[in-house]
Amino acid sequence: MVSCSICGERACYHRRYSGQRFCAEHFLEYFERKVKKTMLRYRMVERGERIGVAVSGGKDSLTLLRILDRLAGRLSLELHAILIDEGIANYREETIERARRFCEELGVPLRVLSFREHFRLALDEAVRLSHRNACTFCGVFRRKLLNDAARELGCDRLATGHNLDDEVQAILMNFLRGDLERLLRLGTRTRSERLVPRIKPLMEMPEKEVALYALLAGIPASFEECPYAVQSFRTEVREMINRLEESNPGIKFSILRSYQKLLPLLESYGVKQLQSCRTCGEPSSGERCRACLLLEELTRSASR
Amino acid sequence: MKVKVVLGREERVVEVAEGATVAEVLRALGVNREEVVVRLRDAIVTEEEALRDGDTIELIRVISGG
Ligand code: SF4
Ligand SMILES: [Zn+2]
Ligand SMILES: [Zn+2]
């Protein structure tokens, strides 16, 4: 039997990059402490703030909600869960149900916004009208609705469940594509009053640890995959990183640290000022925002 | 020895050396340890755990992509 480095009970996790082994109880303790430390280190929240929490019903967002809920009392945080229903048949219904149940259990108010109600079409319909990848619409429209909801609710921050793996994948993807603008945007503070500042409390937690936390803490998260999540550039990058991590434990952290060291250099190279979208007035890097451009494209295909 | 591996609705039996660990079974299947959590007899275990003939392990995929 493999045993916990702290108490000698049976270990359920071997944290290879530090050599420690944890039993269930000590893993949960370690995980919560580490998330707390990350939040302090990056000064993610301040006492008394109102925090919007983006939830989907998956393991990352429900784990995030549970941990913020545990910190809420001591820091007098006011939490508001926000869920975006993109309109993905045979997938989203169940995850919404799980999120709803968990919010009820914790007593956190939940606001649900749907693509159908705000853009007049579900993601499934958008995909049928376009040659574009579902994730393109999904990402752009979801980001917009999350920001709208957080702003309407008067939130000081918007917390998302991005984990270490998500971060490192995004860093490498932007680097490999030579997209310096996006590479920079990943790590800099928002540059517009209309954008609610985002925080990512799980950004230093590997995806496997988040899943383990959700399982051990009995969080009713869904482990199903979105039907649109097919083989993509992101999958290739993920597989490459995980192969590297297997033979070089800790490399995900070192990619994140390298990025953080590079950030000041990237910033001095110039942060593009955001303008207001000519159509909707929301912050945009071009004359019109991505959401408006995509919507117009969809309206054109629909009338054809 | 033989170990049964359950992944979602799929089931497979793998032949591994006596006393093989979870890590060796994953390697034989080409599964990256970063992408699964492993359950053995109702408990989550590390990849270093040694297996016995006839054991069943369940792999839970941790990748969400949603
Ligand atoms: S995988 Fe599914 S949920 Fe995730 S961005 Fe793509 S369409 Fe949206
Ligand atoms: Zn212990
Ligand atoms: Zn716009």
Q: What pLDDT shows up at residue A146? A: 97
Return the HEC string of A116-158: HHHHCCCHHHHHHHCCCCHHHHHHHHHHHHHHHHHHHCCCCEE
Answer whether A31's CB lies under 8 Å from A22's CB.
no
Whole-number Å distance, alpha carbon A26 to ligand 2 midpoint, is: 5
Whole-number Å distance, alpha carbon B56 to ligand 1 midpoint, is: 33
pLDDT at B65 over 60: no
Q: Which CATH superfamily is domain B2-61 in?
A: Beta-grasp domain (3.10.20.30)
Q: What pLDDT shows up at residue A191? A: 72
Instruction: Supply the DSSP symbol for A42.
Output: T
Q: What are the residue ranges in chain A where pLDDT is below 50?
A: none
State if pTM tops 0.90: yes
Of A2, A225, A235, the CB nearest to B46: A2
pLDDT at B66 over 70: no
Q: Which residue lies with its CA nearest to atom 6 of ligand 1? A: A135
Read off the amino acid at residue A93. Answer: E
Q: What are the extents of the domains in chain B?
A: 2-61
Answer whether B37's CB lies under 8 Å from B62's CB.
yes
C-alpha–C-alpha distance, residues A108 and A210, integer Å = 21
Determine contact: A208 vs chain B, CB below 8 A.
Answer: yes
Determine contact: B15 vs chain A, CB below 8 A.
Answer: no
Q: A160: distance to nearest CA of chain B, Å?
A: 13
Query: Do the chains contact at A59 and B48, CB–CB below 8 Å?
Result: no
Query: What are the structural domains of chain A?
Result: 26-271 (3.40.50.620), 273-304 (no CATH)
The answer to whether the CB of A135 is under 6 A from ligand 1 is: yes
Read off the amino acid at residue A235. Answer: T
Distance of CA A283 to the CA centre of its chain: 20
Tokens linked to A170: 């995004």
Q: What pLDDT shows up at residue A72? A: 95
Answer whether A189's CB lies under 8 Å from A195's CB.
no
C-alpha–C-alpha distance, residues A264 and A292, integer Å = 32
- Scanning the structure block, which residue is given the tokens 């469940």? A161
Instruction: Supply the DSSP symbol for A274.
Output: P
Query: Do the chains contact at B66 and A13, CB–CB below 8 Å?
Result: no
* A104 CB-side CA count, 13 A: 7
Q: What pLDDT shows up at residue A245? A: 97
Average pLDDT rounded to a whole number, residues B6-18: 93
Q: A1: distance to nearest CA of chain B, Å?
A: 6
CB < 8 Å to A210, chain B = 62
Q: What pLDDT shows up at residue A225? A: 85
Q: Which three-class secondary structure state does DSSP give residue B2?
A: strand
**What would the DSSP string read from start to end of A181-229?**
HHHHHHHSPP--TTSPPEE-TTTTS-HHHHHHHHHHTT---B-PPPTT-
The answer to whether the CB of A216 is under 6 A from ligand 1 is: no
Question: Please, what's the b/e burial string for B23-58 (b: 16 or more CB within 10 A of its CB; e: otherwise)?
Answer: bbbbbbeebbbbbbbbbbeeebbbbebebeeebebb
- Scanning the structure block, which residue is given the tokens 């000041």? A264
C-alpha–C-alpha distance, residues A253 and A250, integer Å = 5
Whole-number Å distance, alpha carbon A70 to ligand 2 midpoint, is: 21
The answer to whether the CB of B63 is under 6 A from ligand 1 is: no
Q: What pLDDT shows up at residue A169? A: 97
Question: For the packed helices A180-187 and A164-177, what is the interaxial angle rounded to 10 degrees?
Answer: 160
Cα–Cα distances (Å) from A300 to A22, A137, A141, A297, in that order, read 56, 15, 17, 5
pLDDT digits (tens, 9 = 90+) for B38-49: 999 989 999 999
Of B45, B48, B65, the CB nearest to A225: B65
Q: Which residues pair with B57 in a beta bridge?
A: B5, B40
Q: A222: distance to nearest CA of chain B, Å?
A: 9
Taking chain A, what is the end-to-end CA distance rounded to the nearest angstrom? 65
Q: Which atom of ligand 1 is nearest to the CA of A135?
A: 6
Report the mean per-residue pLDDT for chain B.
93
